Amino acid sequence: MPDSVPPFTLVDVPGAVPLLGHLGAFKKQPLEMLSAWWRQHGDALRFRLGPKTFYLFSHPDLAEEILVKQSDRFVKVYNPRRPHGLALVLGNGLVTSSGEIWKRHRRVIQPIFHRSRMAAMADRMAQVGEQRVAAWKDREGSTIDIAAEMMQLALEVISQTMFTTSMAQHIERISHALRVSIKYAFDSFSNPLFLPLWMPTARNREFHSEMRFMDGLMYGLLTERRRSGAHYDDLLDLLLQARDEETGEGLSDQELRDEALTIFAAGHETTANALSWTWYLLATHPEAKARFHEEVDRVLQGRTPTADDLQHLPYTRAVFDESLRLYPPAPAVHRKAATNTTVGGVSLPEGAFVLVGTYNLHRHPDFWPNPEQFQPEQWLNGERPSSRYAYMPFGAGPRTCVGLHFASVEGPLLLALIGRHYDLNLAQDKVEAHLMVTLRPKDGILMTLQPRKMPVASPARLPVPNTGELS
Ligand code: HEM
């Protein structure tokens, strides 16, 4: 396919040292480096981490070229025969697989996220949210780490909606296991000096131990569902019932484990980070927070939110969308060139590693009037940036996030639910963003949990036709 984008000039990031390239600076501050290099040197860059050469593209035209127009030439970086990075944790699940396996599994999994299922999912999300909020009752007035709380809340939402089971009693252990294993995966990928998995180092042993725990949990879920013979019409049922169109065979246990763990991990970590950053942005922008609380009180009148309420909460949605712009949970999308090709006039050799810098796109001054400022209002007047790919928190092209609709319901719904009960105020001076596959608040975010005076609950709203986001 011809490269249809006007030429860009490829700039080599200065400061590479022999052998290591830019590894020293990148290892210390990956997000800061990706952003600073772009600001200083432009939209098409090349840098080196040890022996690996990376291309960083931070312009919507280049993003479209890589993820949409030439999506067949830019593949995922993982090789199922020699797993590394995220594939060490997620195996050959939807995030890490390619080719026919990916296509087949996406066909199996996609229907669970259909919009028609979202109202029922929203009720379950709200139930889980109310339970979590009820557990905060005796911590009112005290300080909580909202990032840890959102991680646990999102984890329970995914367990209940996808697997119809509660993970509440294991939640801290699971959060820990995923944090350790994802950090391991990220470091092993971005640091070529990382010691191989078979070496008996303390870190490798810890990784193996956490993975054994997660495997036990996933296989336990499968065994229990098979044993009980129960049907819940959830993701687990879809995975267990899936049959190959040609051979009639079901997914192997390993495939089931990989897909279950993938949805488990991808389905909570991103949303949890998005929610945490949103609370941070609201806490640091009191006018926006007041407007958000006003909308929530007026629309909900003291009720638990439902999917129908979301169309009446445009400001809450705008706050969430704007938070995804400033702090995209997936700040870079990673691909490998499957063949020699050209993007925006830049030649890429087969095997080149490419990063589409979502974080940079979302703050690009050519596409956003006040790129660094938190301005939820800009989502209310219907205006959008001149390029569709200047905003892509859920990715773009065939590998767009499968959980997009789910997250678009879950985010605003949980914001409204929590905002109805509590006023969250920042209880620390500085919050740092840290890139570790996703964009996390580095050491959590401490906030005081201030109960709000609730409006008296009015009778449930009469059903409203679904005309907005969920129709
Ligand atoms: C705010 C929340 C979320 C954000 C920002 C987000 C972001 C993304 C992005 C950027 C990708 C594309 C990665 C790439 O192209 O390499 C992706 C893929 C994916 N996401 Fe999400 N995600 C979110 C929530 C969810 C949820 C709730 C689920 C599941 C319940 C989920 C499951 C997945 C899966 C399985 C993929 C791989 C899809 C494929 O390659 O076919 N995500 N997500």
Give dist(CA 455, CA 119) in Å, integer: 25
Confirm whether 85 is domain-assigned.
yes
Over residues 444-451, mean pLDDT: 97
Q: How many helices and strands, by DSSP H and E, does the chain display?
A: 15, 13
Query: Is 462 among the domain residues?
Result: no
Instruction: Provide the number of structural domains found in the chain.
Output: 1
Which pairing describes strands 433-436 and 422-426: parallel, antiparallel, or unpaired?
unpaired
pLDDT digits (tens, 9 = 90+) for 350-383: 999 999 999 999 999 999 999 999 999 999 988 7
Q: Which residues make Cβ contacts (< 8 Å) with residue 263, sequence separation at least 6?
A: 93, 94, 109, 158, 162, 235, 403
Compute the distance from residue 268 Cα to the ligand 1 centre, in Å. Answer: 10
Residue 456 lies in a domain: no
pLDDT at position 463 is: 44
Is 468 part of a structural domain of the chain?
no
Establish if 126 belongs to a structural domain.
Answer: yes
Pocket of ligand 1 from Cβ distances under 6 Å:
94-95, 106, 158, 262-263, 266-267, 270-271, 274, 329-330, 333, 393-395, 399, 401-403, 406-407, 411
Q: Which domain holds residue 213?
A: 11-451
CA 57 from centre of chain: 20
303-352 pLDDT, tens digit per residue, is 999 999 999 999 999 999 999 999 999 999 999 999 999 999 999 999 99
Would residue 459 count as lying in a domain?
Answer: no
* CATH number of the domain encompassing residue 190: 1.10.630.10
Please write the tens of the pLDDT for every residue from 268-294: 999 999 999 999 999 999 999 999 999
SS3 state at 450: strand
Closest CA to 333 of 395, 387, 272, 390: 395
Domain annotation covers residue 152: yes
Q: How far is the CA of 266 from the centre of ligand 1 (A)?
A: 6
Ligand 1 pocket mutation, candidates 270, 406, 413, criterion most atoms within 8 A of CB: 270
Residue 302: pLDDT band with limits 50, 70, 90:
very high
pTM strictly above 0.85: yes
Cβ atoms of residues 44 and 59 within 8 Å: yes
- Measuring from atom 39 of ligand 1, which residue has the nearest CA? 399
451 CA → ligand 1 middle, Å = 33
Percent of the chain with pLDDT over 90: 70
Residue 460 lies in a domain: no
Q: Nearest-CA neighbor of 5 among 47, 46, 56, 44?
A: 44
The residue assigned the tokens 């040609």 is 246
